[in-house]
Chains A and B, each alone.
Chain A
Amino acid sequence: MSKVSASGQTIGQSVPRVESEEKVTGRLKYLDDLRLSGVLHAKILRSPVPHARIRQIDAREAEKLPGVAAVLTRDDIVGNPAYDSHYGPIYKDQTIVASDKVRYVGDPVAAVAATRPEIAEEALDRIEVEYDELPWVLDAEEALAETAPVLHDKVEMRREGFADVGGIRPKDGTNLCNHFHLSMGDVEKGFRESDRVFENVFTSPSAQHSSLEPHAAVASFDGPGRLTVWDTVQNPFVIRDLLAEIFHLPLSKVRVISLNLGGGYGSKLYPKLEPLAAALALKAKRPVAITLTREEVFQTLTKHAARIYLKTGVKNDGRILARQCRIYLDTGAYAEIGPRVSKKSAFTAAGPYDIPNVEVDSYLSYTNKVPAGAFRGFGVSQSNWAHESEMDIIARALGIDPLELRRRNLLQEGSAAITGERLQGLALNECLDEVAAAVEWGKRAEPKNPSLARGKGVACLIKTTVTPSVSSALIRLNEDGSATLYVGTADIGQGSDTVLAQIASEELRIPLEQIHVAHSDTDYAPYDLSTSSSRSTFHMGRAVQLAADDIRKQLACLAAPLLGVSAEEVVFENQEVRPPDGSAPGLSYKALFMNIYGIKGINLFGKGLFKTSTKHKDGEPLTSSFWSIGAAAAEVEVDRETGQVRVVRYATAADVGKALNPLFCRQQLRGGAITGIGLALMEQLVYQDGLLINPNFLDYNLPRFLDIPEEIIPILIEKPHAEGPFGAKGLGETALIPAPPAIANAIEDAVGVRITDLPITPERVFLAIQRKREEQSAQAHLTKS
């Protein structure tokens, strides 16, 4: 591609979001702010029981209610040639409404579309459902027992799935949704050769993303065989593909539009309301809108609960010889994207360490809980909680500083990974050194109050991004020299519209204010896999660069004869083309068009396609097109009398390759850290008798202003990636992942207790301190007698 030297005009600058003014004035429209004329409002009847066979559904009384336009039950979907009854991103285990069974409390059973939401709500009360209740199971490991009730008798694979999830299979007649195995070396031999072997179990509960904007969708069959869905979605193309499959339509006949989202964090990936809204719209022959209540959001998608068994063999000098990881992830009632989560969790389950003998088994189970899927960190925060906690257990047992133990084992450039490749571009040492320095590692602060204790902890991480994948971009250079970008990337708050505009601005030398990003409309944007996996800056940013290069080449060919130079010599500056030596004045893009064509109405299209592969150029395997690398250090204050933990100082580092917009990078780091602190200290979904009992913000605790540390120090490490735009890598998930273990490690440093179950509630800390005191006094008693 032709080169433009970086001018520093926008790249590396903390420019505010392009839509800033709309956001602070309330003018920015989120989906539920729009009203389509003639739209019907839908409500969903949900299962009140965790597991049951549906004996009978009678919706006749609901249909009679004035204002009701359509009622959808299994009678509409089973055997209906208009669409497929079963769907799902990997396995076709979901139905639009329950067809034979319900599998969790909240499972959609029927839906009503009416002229007003209140009428739809009232109609739900008139639907009679008889259930034959079945035994249920809520634990991933118990679900694999032979005696466990089975949720799905048989699961069908989707025919054309995702490129990176080949080889994944459910086991029919069991709750095993997926088993992924990786190994390297010989772990048994490694354990035999070790001086010490450590075995621990770590758990983390299911949690909820808690996007403040609830899920919403508006579906309309608005042309000949043509479906349009306005959607709160992070991956509109995947929704388009699945809707086309379900409703037997060509891709050209499905349009999915995602507006700016009020947060995503993984919760708005893959179908949620779209198939239901579309099926209702088809039946009612009118557009249908659904917006979930907060309780329904909690019943829609969660983070995988995990139990992880770790066994680690080490030499007395701290060198790790072998590590065995057994991961049990709870995917709830439907697979969703769980199989990919379990795979990603496995890739880096042994941590960012150079270990000769590793074995990983990742089991994914169906249970009678709310489905679990993508959650910022995608299975890695669960496995990181385990290995980063165990590192400190080992360090304490061996009397080695936890930071030093990590340094002795970190992956180095060219280290062999369990995935079969030699790893490159790992700024692990830099990240760890920087966070440790930021919290004055090794220096102990004494609190004034004797009931308080202070401690410090670190944790580091490595994570893959989805590979292989595709992002493509289209740029239209308009008649006046301004530019419009067509991209599938959804702006979920991270600032992709701004960063992609910055890249185009830099590449085309067009002022930022003259660039518009037309985002995530599948009718106009070329294909993009998803806004997830920390992938957009790297992948879409690169696609935008390639599209800009395509424009530049076209401009150069047009301009060269006019400027009297060769196309390769044309220089781009200030929205102008000019000769390199200043022998002729610059010619604006607009003037160039007029000069060449002599008529208004000429614009140019540039296209860029970026596709990653699972092989390096030299043929070596490649698991991830880039690796997310980071570390965190926490200083905590623990109240011995109450178990209350306060994070007083926190530093978080990530290798961002190149900070295209440092403000946004810091926001990602601080924001990720804050969610990580929430997951560490307070967040968990609680089930009682098969029922999720805290599906709201009153009972589900989220970090608030009083829970946030005085300062979170974001540290941006810039090790340029050869393929990233200007060297940039993704960083959306990095900072969340190491927060829970960094905090648990700091707690042990402060009060000498090890918490292995998340969240680290005051009760858990208090009881652990009590237990330790009792053990110590029993020990003292023994010594005395």
Chain B
Amino acid sequence: MIRTIRMTVNGAPHEIEAEPWETLLEILRRRLELTGTKLGCDQQVCGACTVLMNGLPVSSCSVLGVDAAESEILTIEGLAAGGELHPIQKAFIEHGAFQCAYCTAGLILAVKALLDQMPAADEEQTRHFLAGNLCRCGCHLEILRAVRSLSGQPPQPEEA
């Protein structure tokens, strides 16, 4: 029972033929070959598959493709417009906010949603907002540093 699903992904309109049970994540990874979005837990609790749907963060592993019809999706591939890294991507590199980086795409998009909503988010707001994103390498404090550099909060002392 293949359906045709229309959605805008990273600014480009798509008409996707997909089964009704396919998740947004499966559509992105398998049908559109956008593999930057990762599967971690498959139950909406690790944040690795976070994408922005109409500007809001969702776990693409737990959103059906048919429910994403007619929406605007932003994945990590769509963030660096025109080849120039997004300021969040630059800050993640500058502050060492990843190691293995399997969680990074989801975290960068979650941070984007946070700063879109709260451009001057403080540390507590940031921690609450990112509580759904796991990072097993343990780069939480470096990620918080990266966010702080973008939210106008007083920076922490530089580390060599």
Contacts and interface: CB of A to CB of B under 8 A. Distances in A.
Interface of A: 14, 16-17, 20-21, 23-30, 32-33, 209-214, 260-265, 293-294, 492-495, 662-664, 666-667, 670-675, 696-698, 702-706, 708, 711-712
B136 A698 contact: no
B85 interface: yes
10 contacts: A21-B93, A25-B36, A27-B77, A29-B35, A33-B35, A263-B100, A294-B43, A493-B102, A696-B41, A704-B133
B101 interface: yes
Interface string B73-91: 0011101100001000100
A261 B85 contact: no
Contact of B92 (A24, A29, A493, A666): A24
A24 B92 CA distance: 7
B36 A26 contact: yes
Contact of B131 (A23, A293, A672, A705): A705
Interface string B127-152: 11011111111111110100000000
Nearest to A716: B160
Chain A CB within 10 Å, residue with most, of B36, B80, B85: B36
B54 interface: no
A667 B134 contact: no
B140 A212 contact: no
B139 A667 contact: yes
Contacts of B119: none
B5 interface: no
Interface range on chain B (Cβ under 8 Å from partner): 35 or more
Given A264-B100, A663-B96, 9 more contacts: A16-B96, A24-B92, A26-B35, A26-B75, A32-B39, A210-B134, A212-B48, A666-B159, A671-B138
B122 interface: no
B69 interface: no
B120 to A, nearest CB: 18
Interface string B19-52: 0000000000100001111111111011010000
A702 B38 CA distance: 18
A698 B41 contact: yes
Given A14-B160, A16-B96, A212 B102 contact: yes
A495 B46 CA distance: 23
Contacts of B58: none
Contacts of B126: 705
A24 B46 contact: no
Contacts of B141: 670, 708, 711-712
Interface string B52-75: 000000000000000000000001
B138 A705 contact: no
Given A25-B77, A675-B136, A697 B159 contact: no
Chain A CB within 10 Å, residue with most, of B29, B89, B128: B89
Contacts of B153: none
A134 B98 CA distance: 46
A119 B103 CA distance: 29
A664 B46 CA distance: 24
Contacts of A672: 138
B60 to A, nearest CB: 13
A265 B75 CA distance: 28
A105 B32 CA distance: 37
B137 A26 contact: no
Interface string B92-115: 111010111111110010000000
B38 A697 contact: no
Contacts of B104: 23-24, 26
A705 B142 contact: no
A21 B108 CA distance: 13
A23 to B, nearest CB: 4
Contacts of A16: 93-94, 96
A25 B41 contact: no
B127 A14 contact: no
